[in-house]
Amino acid sequence: MNTKANFSYHKLPYRYINSFVDGKWGEGELSEDERIILNESACVLHYCQVVFEGLKAFKTIDGRIVCFRPDMNKKRLESSCKQMNMPIFPKEKFLAAVEQVVKANKEYIPSFEEGGSLYIRPIMYGTTPTMGVKSAKEFEIRFFAVSVGNYFDANKTARLRVSDVDRAAPKGTGNIKAGLNYAMSLSNITDAHNKGFNENLYLDPKERKYVEETGGANIFFIKDNKVIFPYSESILPSITKMSTMYIAKEILHLEIEERKVTFQEIENFDECALCGTASTITPVGLIDDHGHQIIFSNDVIGPITSLLLKTLKDIQHGIIPAPKGWLYEIK
Ligand SMILES: *Cc1c(COP(=O)(O)O)cnc(C)c1O
């Protein structure tokens, strides 16, 4: 597998499907059919009643298969579902679904040497035909998988630009993984790509004064060996971010802060990086604010970012011991 950006859909043999009908989930089963058959009036198509998750399975250095913190994805899916009037998918079913999909597509998990992973995408959507704006009563959940490498080109630092539009409202849905948060960003990301940027950096939607996150990843900064994570109620609570905070504080014994970060102050920061399951930890080279460029590095990863990334990867691949409960082994 090459080390360039490599995060795209391709059909793997098996996915797990379960339906919520008459107020309860069924047994669930593996299927070889990647297509979904929906009524033309299905709630998800018109009113975007869809939430999703993303997690990875890795091959460890000694050949085991492990999932990284799937219980956290299960918890976040639950909070997404609550906010979107969707049914809770029970924890045991969630873990069993992950396990079944990983096992069934086992031969597509990149080896330790290749450095990739199997990305598992759980997705739940409202299937009930609706005309008026109201919630579906029937839902489907699918867990499919793809083999992936890097989300961004591994040999480059990311280039961000400050967005002119908002991804979330102050009391909206920015804190959950709901499809609607991404629908609004599609023309914006297309425009960013056309102009040579990897991602949009969103500022807080109320004052446009504080840094929030990018379209698909959280952001953090380093200043004098201190790791600074922006706080906001409208950013997606990233599991990679929580893990990075823990690694910085408990394993590397660095000082950390989680607080509101003004856009103005980032000019003084030493390093900047994105974090998320897909992007892992990706160094940010520059942030462009309408032609004014804040430059963190020129295609080299900063020393603290590098240390955080190495520690995270070493945990995920069983090279150093994982904090309790972080690796869910699939036998
Ligand atoms: C998924 C996602 C993240 C990263 O969350 P992880 O749990 O680390 O994968 C960050 N921001 C947004 C907007 C996301 O959709």
Q: Which uninterrupted H or E stretch holds 182?
A: helix 180-183
- Given a contact cutoff of 8 angstroms between Cβ atoms, the answer to whether 80 and 176 are in contact is yes
Q: What is the pLDDT of residue 6?
A: 83
Q: What is the pLDDT of residue 7?
A: 87
Could you tell me the distance, in angstroms and rounded to a whole number, from the CA of residue 132 to the centre of ligand 1?
31
* Mutation test residue for ligand 1: of 202, 218, 280, 326, the one with most atoms within 8 Å of CB: 218
pLDDT exceeds cutoff 70 at 264: yes
CA dist 152 and 157 (Å) reads 8
According to DSSP, the β-strands at 50-52 and 15-21 are unpaired
If you average pLDDT over residues 4-23, what whole number do you get?
A: 91
pLDDT exceeds cutoff 50 at 291: yes
Grouping H, G, I as helix, E, B as strand and the rest as coil, residue 84 is: coil
Q: What is the pLDDT of residue 113?
A: 87
Half-sphere exposure of 62 (CA within 13 A, CB side): 6
Token code pair at residue 85: 């009037």
If you average pLDDT over residues 281-290, what whole number do you get?
A: 97
Could you tell me the distance, in angstroms and rounded to a whole number, from the CA of residue 108 to the centre of ligand 1?
24
Alpha helix segments (H runs only) across 84-133: 91-104
Is 260 annotated as catalytic?
Answer: no
Residues with CB under 6 A from ligand 1: 54, 177, 213, 216-218, 236, 238-241, 276-277
| pLDDT 10s digits, 197-235 | 999 999 999 999 999 999 999 999 999 999 999 999 999
pLDDT exceeds cutoff 70 at 38: yes
Q: How confident is the model at residue 1 (pLDDT cuts 50, 70, 90)?
A: very low
| pLDDT 10s digits, 73-116 | 999 999 999 999 999 999 999 999 999 999 999 999 998 888 89
If you average pLDDT over residues 12-41, what whole number do you get?
A: 98
CA dist 206 and 220 (Å) reads 20
Q: How confident is the model at residue 3 (pLDDT cuts 50, 70, 90)?
A: very low
Nearest residue (by CA) to ligand 1, atom 12, is: 216
What phi and psi values does residue 304 have, to the nearest 5 degrees?
Answer: -75, -40
Could you tell me the distance, in angstroms and rounded to a whole number, from the CA of residue 52 to the centre of ligand 1?
11
If you average pLDDT over residues 118-147, what whole number do you get?
A: 98
- Given a contact cutoff of 8 angstroms between Cβ atoms, the answer to whether 236 and 216 are in contact is no
CA 309 distance to own-chain centroid = 16
Ligand 1: which atom is nearest the Cα of residue 243?
8
Q: How confident is the model at residue 146 (pLDDT cuts 50, 70, 90)?
A: very high
Average pLDDT for the chain: 95
Candidates 272, 306, 262; CA nearest to 199 is 272
Grouping H, G, I as helix, E, B as strand and the rest as coil, residue 36 is: coil
Q: What is the pLDDT of residue 150?
A: 75
If you average pLDDT over residues 140-153, what whole number do you get?
A: 89
Grouping H, G, I as helix, E, B as strand and the rest as coil, residue 154 is: coil
* Mutation test residue for ligand 1: of 71, 163, 238, 316, the one with most atoms within 8 Å of CB: 238
Q: What is the pLDDT of residue 2?
A: 41
Could you tell me the distance, in angstroms and rounded to a whole number, from the CA of residue 220 to the centre of ligand 1?
13
Candidates 272, 264, 273, 270; CA nearest to 292 is 264
Ligand 1: which atom is nearest the Cα of residue 167?
13
- Given a contact cutoff of 8 angstroms between Cβ atoms, the answer to whether 220 and 302 are in contact is no
The contacts of residue 59 (CB under 8 Å, 6+ apart) are 65, 109, 110, 111, 112, 317
Could you tell me the distance, in angstroms and rounded to a whole number, from the CA of residue 274 to the centre of ligand 1?
10
CA dist 65 and 106 (Å) reads 9
What phi and psi values does residue 119 have, to the nearest 5 degrees?
Answer: -95, 125
Q: What is the pLDDT of residue 5?
A: 58
pTM: 0.96
Candidates 162, 312, 166; CA nearest to 243 is 312
CA dist 213 and 283 (Å) reads 14
